[in-house]
């Protein structure tokens, strides 16, 4: 039987080139498919500029709604703006009225103070001559009248001393009589006040005292002695 001839074979060099070209083409097509896929995925995830507004997150309408138990603020009107503008003016008017009221009150207090009588307190240690001479004359009169009108209930039985303040007006009349420190014996305290009433009125103030004094308050220690005499020191 005759031998079958072997099929012709291509050269090895040509097959190597063919397989290299095919691999290169396959790689390019694979890379191109991967690029197309990545581009399409990026396009799908990235919003377009025209439709970006639709993809922005919208604020929930529930956030703008008032919560339960809260009142929604009424809309502002032109009247509200006018009221806000008038508030500073009202504050200024109120401040001016308050200042005027305070000034009137101060003026009234100053007038009352000016109308108050000018008082001068004379104690036992007063050495000013114009007062000392008047008080000395007053003391002599008190001791003379007191000794003549010594309380009968106290003669030979009650003795003691007390601090008495006698307020005299400019015309010599009595403003008030007050026991500052009691003798401990009501009979002696009442007797001292009675003696002042019996000795009144006193001499009017001289000109040098009347110029700056309306009421002269004389404080002296009255003593009812065991000799049935009255002294005011």
Q: So what's the pLDDT on residue 204?
A: 95
Rounded to a whole number of angstroms, the distance between the first and last alpha carbons of the chain is 185
Rounded CA-CA distance 173/199 in Å is 10
Mean pLDDT (whole number) for 16-26: 50
**pLDDT tens digits, one per residue of 27-64:** 555 555 665 665 555 444 454 455 444 445 555 555 45
Range of lowest pLDDT (71-75, 166-170, 214-218): 71-75
Whole-number mean pLDDT of the chain?
A: 75
Q: So what's the pLDDT on residue 73?
A: 57
Helix (H, G, I), strand (E, B) or coil at 66: coil
Q: Is 127 left (phi over 0), alpha (psi -120 to 50) or beta?
A: alpha
> Which residues have a Cβ under 8 Å from the Cβ of 194 and sit 6 or more positions away?
149
Q: So what's the pLDDT on residue 117?
A: 81
Rounded CA-CA distance 50/46 in Å is 12
Whose tokens are 């026991």? That residue is 179
Is residue 17 over pLDDT 70? no
Helix (H, G, I), strand (E, B) or coil at 212: coil
Q: So what's the pLDDT on residue 216?
A: 94
Structural domains in the chain, sorted by start: 119-232 (3.30.1150.10)
Mean pLDDT (whole number) for 2-25: 50
On whether the CB atoms of residues 230 and 146 are closer than 8 A, the answer is yes
**pLDDT tens digits, one per residue of 101-148:** 887 888 777 666 556 788 999 887 777 788 988 999 999 999 999 999
Structure-token pair, residue 205: 């103030």
**pLDDT tens digits, one per residue of 57-113:** 555 555 455 555 556 555 655 555 555 555 666 677 778 788 778 878 887 776 665
Rounded CA-CA distance 171/190 in Å is 25
Q: So what's the pLDDT on residue 14?
A: 42
On whether the CB atoms of residues 199 and 141 are closer than 8 A, the answer is yes
pTM: 0.52
> Which residues have a Cβ under 8 Å from the Cβ of 116 and sit 6 or more positions away?
none
Is residue 185 over pLDDT 70? yes
Q: So what's the pLDDT on residue 126?
A: 74
């Amino acid at each position: 039987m005759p031998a079958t001839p072997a099929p012709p074979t291509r050269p090895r060099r040509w097959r190597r080139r063919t397989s290299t070209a095919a691999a290169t083409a396959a790689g390019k097509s694979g890379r191109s498919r991967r690029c197309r896929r990545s581009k399409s995925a990026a396009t799908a995830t990235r919003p377009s500029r025209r439709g970006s507004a639709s993809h922005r997150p919208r604020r929930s309408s529930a956030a703008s709604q008032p919560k339960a138990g809260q009142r929604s603020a009424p809309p502002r009107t032109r009247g509200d703006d006018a009221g806000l503008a008038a508030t500073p003016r009202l504050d200024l008017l109120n401040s001016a009225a308050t200042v005027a009221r305070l000034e009137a009150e101060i003026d009234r207090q100053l007038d009352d103070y000016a109308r108050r009588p000018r008082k001068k307190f004379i104690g036992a240690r007063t050495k000013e001559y114009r007062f000392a001479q008047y008080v000395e004359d007053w003391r002599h009169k008190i001791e003379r009248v007191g000794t003549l009108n010594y309380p009968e209930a106290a003669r030979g039985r009650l003795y003691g001393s007390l601090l008495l303040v006698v307020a005299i007006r400019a015309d010599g009349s009595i403003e008030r009589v007050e026991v500052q420190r009691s003798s401990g014996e009501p009979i002696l305290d009442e007797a001292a006040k009675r003696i002042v009433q019996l000795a009144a009125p006193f001499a009017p103030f001289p000109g040098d005292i009347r110029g700056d004094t309306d009421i002269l308050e004389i404080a002296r220690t009255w003593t009812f002695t065991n000799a049935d005499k009255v002294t005011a020191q």
